[in-house]
Amino acid sequence: MFIVPGLAVLLTAVAVGFAVVAADIDQMRVAAGDFEIFGHSFTPSVGEVFGSGIGIGAVGMLGLLLLLIGVWRTARRGSEARRELRRSRREVAAARRATPAPQVTQDTAAPRSGPVWSANRFLKRPAGDSGPAKA
């Protein structure tokens, strides 16, 4: 929520600051002359230039602050989701350990029809083959 406005404010402050510096390079070497920013002509004093620099810096810091708040919130939300996922996995594992495995006897087991899949899921076994012989 804060990332896009923060980035917009920060980029605007950087663009205005760059425009002032670019216009100031040639114009301010002469004694307090006019200079042009984005098509507007200005005749500032040294105090006005200093004050506008402070203002642009403050707006840039506000944009950076909004950007960092947005990134921090997004990272916090992701870490909370990962923490919740780990907690739910632990609960599922504990529930599986607490529940006894169902006892399947030879009489109640339904006869299998069709292929039986091996440990390698890409290789089929014939229906009669139950895998390696157990002694």
Confidence check: pLDDT of 33 > 70: no
In this structure, of 2-6, 120-124, 126-130, the range with the lowest mean pLDDT score is 126-130
- Strand 35-37 relative to strand 40-42: parallel, antiparallel, unpaired? antiparallel
Question: To the nearest whole number, what is the mean pLDDT of the chain?
Answer: 75
> Any idea which residue has 């909370």 for tokens?
80
Q: Which pTM was predicted?
A: 0.48
More reliable by pLDDT, 133 or 101: 101
Measured CA to CA, the distance from residue 63 to residue 3 in angstroms comes to 9
Model confidence at 54, pLDDT cuts 50, 70, 90, reads confident
| Contact predicate 10/71, CB 8 Å | no
Structure tokens that stand for 3 in this block: 């990332």
Planar angle of CA 47, 52, 58, nearest 5 degrees: 130
Handedness of CA 116, 106, 135, 97 (dihedral sign): positive
User: How far apart are alpha carbons 16 and 49 in whole angstroms?
Assistant: 13
Residues 57-90 have pLDDT tens digits of: 888 888 888 888 888 888 899 999 999 999 999 9
pLDDT at 6: 81
- Residue bearing the bigger pLDDT, 59 or 41: 59
Across the range 88-106, mean pLDDT stands at 82
Tokens 């339904």, residue located? 110
Length, in residues, of the chain: 135
pLDDT at residue 18, as a whole number: 80
